[in-house]
Copies of this chain bind each other. A is one copy, B any other.
Amino acid sequence: MENLIVQKYGGTSVANAERIMHVANIISNTCEKGKRVVVVVSAQGHTTDRLVEKARGISSDANRRELDMLLVTGEQQSAALMAMALQSMGHSAVSLNAAQVGIEATSVHGNAQIKRIQTKRLIEELEKGNIVIVAGFQGINRFGDMTTLGRGASDTTAVALAAVLEAELCEIYTDVDGIYTADPRIVPSAKKLDEISYDDMLELASSGAGVLHNRAVEMAKRYNVNLVLRSSMSGIPGTSIKEESKVERLAVSGLSIDRNVARISVTGLPDKPGVAHSIFNPLAKAKLNVDVILLSVGEGDNRDYCFTVHKQDLKTACEILEANKENIGYESLNSDENLAKLTIVGAGMANNSGVASAMFEALYECGVNIETICTSEIKITVLIGQQYITKAAKAVHDKFEPMFSKDYTETEET
């Protein structure tokens, strides 16, 4: 649809009446520029956490279908309040939940995927001149039951709506000014990026940058949605996330850290086909995400696997591996919770052979031991002791500072 902008506002941006009125003003300004607007909202402030607490008060292991039925009310409330705010300013607005829009999703309660979005009601409302406010984070499965798309997934709702409605722009409003080369709270010299490629953003997000939901970026990439991340408070332009060919190429576009990581080592495994499958299949069945997988070369017939999981999944993962010990055929199982992950990302890295070396040098110079290394074409991840993460992040960022600018030219590092 021509002239259409999708805007998404997170929980902090709609936390109370004052914030809602502030956001309504941004939306109103967008309309006054002749744009049609679809707005996606999250639940207010800590609403979702409070609802989860309520459920825990009833049952420590609440049924996921019922939990979703409970949680989706948070976004529906925000949507209704936002519609009221816009109406009080003289705009025509209407709020819609996932069932009313027809956001069809898979049945995996708590972590559903959007399958299809009906556009009939959306287009009808837009053509009536309404600003349409959509409750984020939710879908309906084929039984008409509410499902949620996972925490933070209102970003995904926004990008999916932008894709099906062929919006000219999808703006994700949040409480930060944009994507930074590192977390400014940890690395004070971090710089805001004007633009970043989808791939670099994906690597940054999956390494724990946490400002933008990963599935949203993947979907934006697949459907080529123009995505902008910006602050609802500051008015600063933000960071544009787009196709790599349209982005100025930086050797390193950012650095991210993740403290919520735990490492599991499975050692003394036979060197034969099917071993990896026997380890990771039961974990996948339990919906545990596994990151950074390393297979040691080992000696003789013995091989070791080492991988990371989210810290909260460590206990479950170890229990599953213990239960499958005989089938997998390992000798010992070890885990380490005192690690953190430091990642640098950059699409230009592949042509800069010195990037890895420079990163290791920076860590060496500040006396940090590297526990594990894992690299891809556009990122380098190291696991280091958790107590060193701030020091290490600063040292690595400072080392790459010249590369975070557009006029940086490829140089050979030693």
Chain A contact residues, CB within 8 Å of chain B: 16-17, 20-21, 51, 54-55, 57-59, 61-63, 65-67, 69-70, 72-74, 76-77, 79-81, 83-85, 87-88, 94-95, 97, 99-100, 121, 144-145
Neighbour of A66 across the interface among B16, B67, B84, CB < 8 A = B84
Docked CA distance A70–B82 (Å): 10
| Chain B residue at minimum C-beta to C-beta distance from A83 | B66
B85:A81 contact, CB within 8 angstroms = no
Report chain B residues within 8 Å CB of A51: 77
Question: A207 to nearest B CB, angstroms?
Answer: 35
A69:B79 contact, CB within 8 angstroms = yes
Report chain B residues within 8 Å CB of A69: 76, 79-80, 83, 95, 97
Report chain B residues within 8 Å CB of A97: 69
A58:B21 contact, CB within 8 angstroms = yes
With A17-B57, A145-B100 known to touch, is A70 a contact of B66 (CB < 8 Å)?
Answer: no
A66:B95 contact, CB within 8 angstroms = yes
Report chain B residues within 8 Å CB of A16: 57
A83:B63 contact, CB within 8 angstroms = yes
Question: A147 to nearest B CB, angstroms?
Answer: 13
| Chain B residue at minimum C-beta to C-beta distance from A75 | B73
With A69-B95, A95-B66 known to touch, is A58 a contact of B79 (CB < 8 Å)?
Answer: no
Q: Contacts A66-B84, A69-B95, A73-B73 given; 7 further ones with Cβ under 8 A?
A: A55-B80, A58-B81, A59-B88, A66-B87, A69-B79, A69-B83, A99-B144
| Chain B residue at minimum C-beta to C-beta distance from A85 | B58
A84:B99 contact, CB within 8 angstroms = no
B70:A144 contact, CB within 8 angstroms = no
A77:B70 contact, CB within 8 angstroms = yes
